[in-house]
A and B are shown apart, each in its own frame.
Chain A
Amino acid sequence: MFPNYQGFGNDLLQGALVTMQLALASGLGGIAIGLLLCAGKLSGSTVPRFLCFGIANIFRGLPELLVILLTYFGVQVLLNEYSGSSFSINPFAAGVISLSLIAGAYASEVFRAAYNAVPNGQIEAAVAYGMSSARTFISISGPQMLKIGLPSLGNLWLLLLKDTSLVAVISLNELMRNAQIATATTKEPFLFYGTVAMIYIMISILTTGIINQYGKGDVT
């Protein structure tokens, strides 16, 4: 009944763990970059606004695989040229950087829409109370932005989770890569890729459940 994974079952589980770490780290990075880009997009001066819209559009328009390869090999080539010795950068770090940039580009749009949905009167009231802009963000606009943007952020999380599989191409031993290794030995592609697909689906369902549960509670 239970399929025979020929000793690769553990590798798949370990890969799933790396996938989760990668997705979580990139998710946090994506939120940080998304907020930064959003701040730039909402900025009153033209240069940062133009720059942030440009960056966000570029990373939303580029194929994800290309961003990963550009980051991985680009940083490597740059480091080699400046240091003169041959460097190889950590694929996990390259994965987190590229996925954070992609997720951040998408998240900046979510945050911008969420910020615009927060009633302006509240921000004005905070200014009238003498709150600093950081204080206003932490206590007034930030929590509401999170609440309003949560459904869209949940969708982005699922996109991000699935995009982590692409980091297999720079040989990080996450879920997909471990399935490729297992397939090379066992010649059972349908079993392993099918199982991996199921694991992604299960992680998706589980994490969506957690996000929805959180969304039910009132932030304010």
Chain B
Amino acid sequence: MISGILVSFSELLDSYGMQFISGFYVTLKLLTVTVIFGFLLAVPLGLALTSRHRLVKWAARTYSMAFRGSPVFVQLFLIYYGLPALLIKYYGSIVPMQESVWWPLISSSFALASLAFILNLAAYMAEDIRGGLQSVPNTEREAAIAYGMHPLTIARNILLPSALRRAMPALFNQVIISLKATVLVSTIAMQDLMGVGSKAFSQTFDITIYLFLAVIYLAMVFGLSHIFRAIEKYAGISNKIGGKL
């Protein structure tokens, strides 16, 4: 049975190999863009979640609740279909919209899909960063204040370095969850790895296509988690050295 599956895998690669490679590239690009921008957005959000200003904290909490409380699938559709529809209503017709600043975003399905994933990932990562920030001993912050440091300097030089190190495993975990979420773009007809597979399946009804995808995605997930564990180990060692100094 296993050899039979392997034979059909190699047949699959013969007929769809190039498409799978381009799909893999789309998946990788989507994940990279999502993780980079999601993290950049998560840092200020995480700081806002621990802010002493009530309004800032409330806004960050509402954002977090909205994006963690609803499915990323719904968020993807809300942004991919909803945002352009909303803008068309606002501008009245398509021509003034094409001249607006929104056009580069809404004319690209890649940009819209990434936006949805970025906003979602940022909410989850911000919670992890908040956890890291709260585990920084308060005396460190107090000492920095006593030195007369600017709040932004405190955040950048005192709080974030140790908070991010503590949050690292959780943040890495979110990256893996994001990788698994990228398959959703296949439902908006984007040709990522899953999209290529779904299209091939709809033509052939050959279930080995999904089995093949399962193997690939498992390899990606386990590969990534091994890399992350290696990084954590490395960072853990440098952490101890830093502690001694």
Contact = CB atoms under 8 A, between A and B. Distances in A.
Contacts of B74: 165, 176, 179, 193, 196-197, 200
A194 interface: yes
Q: Is the interface of A mostly helix, strand, loop or mixed?
A: helix
Contact of A190 (B71, B75, B82, B201): B82
Interface in A56-80: 57-58, 61-66, 69-70, 73-74, 77
Q: Is the interface of B mostly helix, strand, loop or mixed?
A: helix
A201 B77 contact: no
A189 B85 contact: yes
A61 B71 contact: no
B70 A162 contact: yes
A164 B74 CA distance: 11
B222 to A, nearest CB: 6
A190 B210 contact: no
A152 interface: no
B210 A69 contact: yes
A165 B86 contact: no
Interface of A: 57-58, 61-66, 69-70, 73-74, 77, 158, 162-166, 168-169, 176, 179-180, 183, 187-190, 193-194, 196-198, 200-201, 204-205
A73 B69 contact: no
28 contacts: A62-B180, A62-B218, A63-B181, A63-B183, A63-B217, A65-B184, A65-B187, A65-B194, A66-B217, A69-B201, A70-B207, A70-B211, A73-B207, A74-B207, A162-B70, A162-B73, A165-B71, A165-B73, A166-B184, A169-B187, A176-B71, A176-B73, A187-B85, A189-B82, A193-B81, A194-B82, A197-B71, A201-B66
